[in-house]
Chain A
């Protein structure tokens, strides 16, 4: 994969889930990037990448919403996305969604500039962080779309390895889906539940106090399950965790 050189400024696409449920992850990611002397532009008119409608087959509706986003990011600078599944939607699935669209070429230009948050930190910023936190044991849930669509394998772990007081305990079936899948979790609750229960068992087995992920869909699902089962373990977005550790609680 090719990554750009460290830019002076970037766009930030916050995603709708982060906007509504995990704004702390979004602002942490922005601050981590700003700290590296890169200007962050957050177009206030952004909403959602269109993935929920696209995944449900409603392509026309997804197109309208996607086009609304694309026009907000005209400068030829990277667009950082703190979610692998929204990132994959914009980087890869837009090309399917707009296959026959007259503006395909400019959409391609937009898609090429999409870069996921952990990849941006590792490959573009080449960030070096200092750990200011107490010793902690945690585990990592690898989002499916990070692994299989954005080709993110080691980046999140490379970031965590920079933190000297953090011990990462890997999940037994790290590459297996947590059962979220967007509307799948609502349309097929029993199957989703079976998948989530197994994931929670695996997470519990690690004995870690915190489970991190890079996708708020997975996180919402896993956290929801942990809380429902009255587990003490908490779920957190990688960006929130990195900001807390390298900057003290903001």
Chain B
């Protein structure tokens, strides 16, 4: 596509989809309808029948939000290390190598600059396909730099979150990324540049409990799961079944935690309008 990413390769949860040629069909997991795979792709990974939002990759979001040819990636060369020597079913160091190989990216965050309707913006997006979009030192550093660049240049920051939270394998250093990123967000605020936080499915744990809900404007996709604790943990704690729709975007809107729910097709225009009002 215009910014150099091909949607086919970028689509979905990081599981490479079968070649999406003519005549290949895809079934919607939400409503069960079978449609041409190509339709899902042109419809931005939204089910053409029921409107269910499947995951759009970070690269797909850049194509969607930025003016063609304006994207310039920053901080691409940062790599995670294994500060704790953490081993679960396999060593973290090996997990990193495997994840890089599987996803083709260095870590779970893509950031850079570009233009939206001609206006210079800083843009960052989680890559959920890399270890569930978890935030360790690299992700925290890239986000801090993103906010700092926004502050220096007085440019709006648009950040798309989809993450399970802090990366357990980097222990307390991951926890500290919450403080680091939010402190940098403080600089952006002082510089007078806006922060548009876009909450995608899912945004939980240490990412939700740091910058993600501190947007000057918080926008969420329909049905996105957004919360501090995961539903399983809450059910185990309170020993009751959670109500239908709990922690979904619609629930957060009702409880005053987000500004708007925005379908994918309208996201670009909505952000542009908000920015026009704030800094136009």
- A-B interaction: no
